[in-house]
Chains A and B, each alone.
Chain A
């Protein structure tokens, strides 16, 4: 297990080990060594060396050498050695002086393992990155992806009512970030703020957020960062294993069940995984009233298989996602008068104030299917070739409250329908360290076809794109510095057509641009690591920004695109500091400061004029662009107060403004700037956590990120957003609010199987509040008190 984990988390975990505390003793000795293949006598590069007892570890360099400093005299250490291609080995070493030891590792031919190779080379990111803590991940998986991520510093959620939410990374969202699930970039109708990502969080074992321009790594559009979901590695031992998770939510009387089974065929290098999730919930309740028509139903499934032969490694995966989301009935408005009436009313209008599981109009239905095939070929010790095909189909339909909904012929017809087919092919040639350099080159081809039903806000389109990239990383152990550099070029061409009778479009647009990233990591001391990254990324204008024309009913605005928009270009710099100070009450934390300068930032500009429609006049908003700056600070820390009790804090600050037209520098135009709309306000989270069984805890559990039994009481304060655009807001941003939450988790063994149970209470004090980043702040309060219980049984 240790072997797998070490490989899995690679350098990140090892770094964590080196940060461990040491007792006063003569502990200045170093273990130096050389690892060779027992059969070929060749040096083994990138082997993991872990000393459990000292909580230290490292990896061998390309010539098989390694060094672990600060070990104690005459202490027997258990040294665990592992390498991707070899059997795990454990040896006891006792040091009396600085010593060099030779280790030999055997190739294990009988071990047919499925290894997700890029994980073996996953290095510490030079960009700011946060990983969702295990307990938080388990507690929020049953809600949705947005909810899972919102506890991370610098991450917030943009929502449309209580059922639709999407992640916002340092103020940017939708098409400005990438969502990568099992190596495939999600392609849906992400341009819409009311279009939630079609992701089942239960498929993920690890969710991380990369903050800042990530265009080189994650492709065109990722100017704000990426959400990366990784599934658990397929079972490597013969036999059957898996888990079953059940959850219940008091608010909405919801339930969720998810299960996964891995089956590794005996005597073959073949593993199957079958996973599925079912979810159902009814109307949610705000402190004072029910939120009519906010039920959710979801049914997801996935299948994966992996196998390998001498040099090949294959993986196929099929994922199906099917979701039906009720939309607050009170949010449906016909014209501006309706909207103003809804805003003025303290309680939602037209609101069926009762509980029901039934999902009526308005609702959304979204289906997403992914087919993925990945093959890797190990050319030599140093080189690897990989190819991946993915096909995706996204089917989104929106059912509105319509005048004719009672007539049978159109009863089941949606008002908006979007169908998007995406085919992607990725080829990459990667290498393990050669003269301290590690990296690769690759190409990508993408084709998309989008069909919009009559009356859609955007035209049909067909799009083609190609990319070429190269990325390299330098590290010479034990120098404390690492460097990374990458470049990429992307080209996109889109042919947009409408054949409706209202207005016609037949236009070809194309964009091409380069992206780049430059980063460095400096290990200042064993407990402090600083990283600096500067990235340049771009994003072509979205189809809606180019061609939208119509009334956005939820917002009561008339929106018009502009086909002459230029691509956005983002230049992001972030400085990230990670620290651990065991001597100061185990203080640990991370702090990131960033500045994202976006040239030609596309935004909706209020026109101070009205557009006359058959439903009355609507305020006009046109898509425009000007230079913008988003800068801020995110941080998190924890500190031991007394035994078992620790204090945790998180902070997210952001300032986002637009520069006056034609200005490219921040300083010359400070006076002329205007705040950008819908940017997260400053937020703070703080809590107390009581951990049980801290000292004698199972190392295995700690390594896999699983926490011990704990109780946590936390509070989150979101300040009122005062930095809002001067024009165009119908209602001031909601007031500052503080909500409390309670969390508890416990893991125990049940007949040799691991059982994790948890309790999570949101909005403990049933406080009444509205959130600026929720479009439905015009209509309702946020949901009130909700208790959720969960149990997860891990077997095999």
Chain B
């Protein structure tokens, strides 16, 4: 009887060890979660060089996002480039490079309601399809409105009006053409 009892405690020990081993094996399960908290529109050309920022430092909810008004002169042609950041990580992660590396799986879409602004010449991906990280902003008359910038991931058709896929970000900047 004593012998049996001993072997059982041994068994119990094996059980506990197995349990903790299983736990140990999974120790490396650090999650990989991206939070896009900052989108920068860099506009330059014709003696103009300025960055406009959409930023939600504390993530969804909490404090409302801070959004710059894009204020640009009339009758100019500017080059626009976007920069995307995840500030939930330390150091802050610049997501732009990753998006650039996977340019065929991404598409930036601009929805423009400003009368005196035309957004054109989206740069293309490795397959020659639209990508949109860089673009050309041409202003004419004094006007104001909104420019909504969306990042589509794995769009089904990059040239369609509704490119499909999932939306990674969807932000709107107020725009003033002076």
Partners in one complex: yes
Q: A371-B15, A503-B59 are in contact. Are A612 and B106 (CB under 8 A)?
A: no
Q: Does B56 contact A (CB under 8 A)?
A: yes
What residues of chain B lie closer than 8 Å to A633, measured between beta carbons?
A: none
Q: A456 contacts B61, CB within 8 Å?
A: no
**Residues 89-130 of chain B: 1 if any A CB is under 8 Å from the residue's CB, otherwise 0?**
110000100110110011000000000000000000000000
Q: Distance in Å from the Cβ of A616 to the closest Cβ of chain B?
A: 4
Q: B60 contacts A367, CB within 8 Å?
A: no
Q: A403-B34, A415-B32 are in contact. Are A335 and B15 (CB under 8 A)?
A: no
Q: A406 contacts B105, CB within 8 Å?
A: yes
In the complex, which residue of chain B has the Cβ closest to the Cβ of A272? B11
Q: A334-B153, A503-B58, A614-B56 are in contact. Are A415 and B33 (CB under 8 A)?
A: yes
Q: A501 contacts B88, CB within 8 Å?
A: yes
Q: Distance in Å from the Cβ of B52 to the closest Cβ of chain A?
A: 15
Q: Does B48 contact A (CB under 8 A)?
A: no
**Residues 540-570 of chain A: 1 if any B CB is under 8 Å from the residue's CB, otherwise 0?**
0000000001110000001010000000000
What residues of chain A lie closer than 8 Å to B22, measured between beta carbons?
A: 320, 367, 369, 393
Q: Does A413 contact B (CB under 8 A)?
A: yes
Q: Does A373 contact B (CB under 8 A)?
A: yes
Q: Does A783 contact B (CB under 8 A)?
A: no
Q: Give chain A interface residues in 493-517, CB to chain B under 8 Å.
A: 500-503
In the complex, which residue of chain B has the Cβ closest to the Cβ of A414? B31
Size of the B side of the interface (Cβ < 8 Å), in residues, is 55
Q: Give chain A interface residues in 347-399, CB to chain B under 8 Å.
A: 349-350, 367, 369, 371, 373, 391, 393, 395, 397
Q: B169 contacts A404, CB within 8 Å?
A: no
Interface hub of B34, B59, B164, B171 (most chain A Cβ within 10 A): B59
Q: A416 contacts B33, CB within 8 Å?
A: yes
Q: Does A780 contact B (CB under 8 A)?
A: no
Q: Does A768 contact B (CB under 8 A)?
A: no
Size of the A side of the interface (Cβ < 8 Å), in residues, is 60
Interchain CA distance A560-B101 in the complex, whole Å:
35
Our pick among A305, A335, A367 for the contact of B11 (Cβ within 8 Å) is A305
Our pick among B23, B29, B88, B99 for the contact of A500 (Cβ within 8 Å) is B88
Q: Does B62 contact A (CB under 8 A)?
A: yes
Our pick among B1, B65, B90, B105 for the contact of A501 (Cβ within 8 Å) is B90
Q: A550 contacts B61, CB within 8 Å?
A: yes
Our pick among A314, A349, A404, A615 for the contact of B98 (Cβ within 8 Å) is A404
Q: Does B44 contact A (CB under 8 A)?
A: no
**Stretch from B35-43, B75-83, B132-140 forming part of the interface with A:** B35-43
Our pick among A318, A401, A454, A611 for the contact of B33 (Cβ within 8 Å) is A454
What residues of chain A lie closer than 8 Å to B98, measured between beta carbons?
A: 403-404, 407
Q: Does A189 contact B (CB under 8 A)?
A: no
Q: Distance in Å from the Cβ of A397 to the closest Cβ of chain B?
A: 6
Q: A318 contacts B34, CB within 8 Å?
A: no
**Residues 50-75 of chain B: 1 if any A CB is under 8 Å from the residue's CB, otherwise 0?**
00001010111110110000000000
Q: A454 contacts B31, CB within 8 Å?
A: yes
Q: Distance in Å from the Cβ of A352 to the closest Cβ of chain B?
A: 12
**Residues 513-550 of chain A: 1 if any B CB is under 8 Å from the residue's CB, otherwise 0?**
00000000000000000000000000000000000011
Q: Give 16 CB contacts A-B under 8 Å.
A: A318-B18, A350-B156, A369-B19, A373-B12, A395-B26, A403-B98, A403-B168, A406-B102, A415-B31, A417-B30, A549-B62, A613-B61, A614-B36, A614-B37, A614-B39, A614-B170
> Which 5 A-B residue pairs are closest in the complex by CB-CB distance?
A455-B33, A453-B31, A334-B167, A413-B32, A616-B170
Contacts A318-B15, A414-B29, A415-B31 aside, 9 further interface pairs with beta carbons under 8 A come to: A303-B15, A307-B8, A334-B165, A393-B22, A406-B105, A407-B102, A550-B59, A611-B60, A616-B171
Interface of B with A (CB < 8 Å)?
A: 1, 4, 8, 11-12, 15-16, 18-19, 22-23, 26, 29-37, 39, 54, 56, 58-62, 64-65, 87-90, 95, 98-99, 101-102, 105-106, 151, 153-154, 156, 162, 164-171
